Amino acid sequence: MMSAPLSRRLAAEGVGTAVLAAVLVGSGIQASGLSPDGGVQLLANVLASVLALAVLIALLAPVSGGHFNPLVSAAAWWTDRRAGTGLTPRELGAYVLAQLGGAIVGVGLANVMFEHPFVELSGHQRASGHLWLAEGLATGVLILLVFGLLRSGRGRYAPVAVAAWIGAACWGTSSGSFANPALTFGRALSDTYTGIAPGSVPAFVLAQTAGAALGLSLVALLFGRRGPQPAPQHAPDDARELLAP
């Protein structure tokens, strides 16, 4: 099991998700205010977000795993459930709540920093089959990447690799690669460049969940299934070091 107290891990997940959400939404507001060009806006928003993501994973992975994403936490629990390491169901629920709370706080702070109300429901409708397909693809590859690196003993590359994939997926998918239910929910609370209408959130989250399930299936197919095994003495905990450099 993880050595850090649960309270410290939850604080790391909440703070990390809040900072990521604040940078994501804040950079979108900043970019849309500084340039009328959509391509420049997207470039600035994506660049700020992926840099923040890489830094936050590198900083907080040794404490909590650096998930900042309920589906990454759920996948970590699922892959480690037979080995008896990693998150318990109770801890998984607490992680998800911390991530959702962090996303709400981070989006609210970004709103306030740019003179918007703390909560301002988005009117940006994102409801179409091609967007749901894009979300499934972006999330599935994210899960494949994270757990493929972990399964092959290359988890130290995750901060750069995860940030690189999110950046590529933001440009290469029609949905802009939300790929994170917590941030998707948080973005519904900002009627700005990165927002999503509350009514569009459930379908996005369902698509992300389906993509995550597919990603886990691909991990098993490409890297083999992980069965029950005793933890060697002094071995690193998989869930704790899921995204550790």
In a domain, 237, yes or no: no
In a domain, 40, yes or no: yes
Residue 48 predicted with pLDDT over 80: yes
Summarised one tens digit per residue, pLDDT across range 117-150 is 999 999 999 999 999 999 999 999 999 999 999 9
Give the DSSP letter of residue 156: G
In a domain, 239, yes or no: no
Q: How confident is the model at residue 233 (pLDDT cuts 50, 70, 90)?
A: very low
Token pair, residue 38, equals 């959509």
In a domain, 234, yes or no: no
In a domain, 62, yes or no: yes
Average pLDDT, the chain: 91
Summarised one tens digit per residue, pLDDT across range 55-107 is 999 999 999 999 999 999 999 999 988 777 789 999 999 999 999 999 999 99
Q: Could you give phi then psi for residue 227, rounded to 5 degrees?
A: -95, 180
The residue among 226, 82, 65, 220 whose CA lies nearest residue 144 is 220
The residue among 30, 37, 52 whose CA lies nearest residue 183 is 52
Q: What is the dihedral of CA 92, 71, 100, 114, to 10 degrees?
A: 150
Lowest mean pLDDT among 11-25, 73-87, 195-209, 216-230: 216-230
Token pair, residue 229, equals 């095994």
Q: What is the mean pLDDT of residues 9-25?
A: 98
Provide the domain count of the chain. Answer: 1
The residue among 89, 79, 77, 92 whose CA lies nearest residue 227 is 79
pLDDT at 234: 39
Token pair, residue 15, equals 């703070």
pLDDT at 174: 96
**d(C-alpha 232, C-alpha 230), whole Å:** 6
CATH number for the domain spanning 107: value is 1.20.1080.10
In a domain, 238, yes or no: no
Residue 245 predicted with pLDDT over 50: no
32-49 b/e (C-beta count within 10 Å ≥ 16 → b) = beeeeeeeebbbbbbebb
10 Å CB burial of residue 234 (0-12, 13-18, 19+) is exposed
Q: How confident is the model at residue 238 (pLDDT cuts 50, 70, 90)?
A: very low
**d(C-alpha 238, C-alpha 245), whole Å:** 13
**d(C-alpha 152, C-alpha 34), whole Å:** 43
In a domain, 240, yes or no: no
Which domain does 156 fall in, by range?
6-223
Q: What is the mean pLDDT of residues 145-174?
A: 95
In a domain, 1, yes or no: no
How many CA atoms are closer than 13 Å to the CA of 73, on its beta-carbon side?
A: 28
Give the DSSP letter of residue 138: H
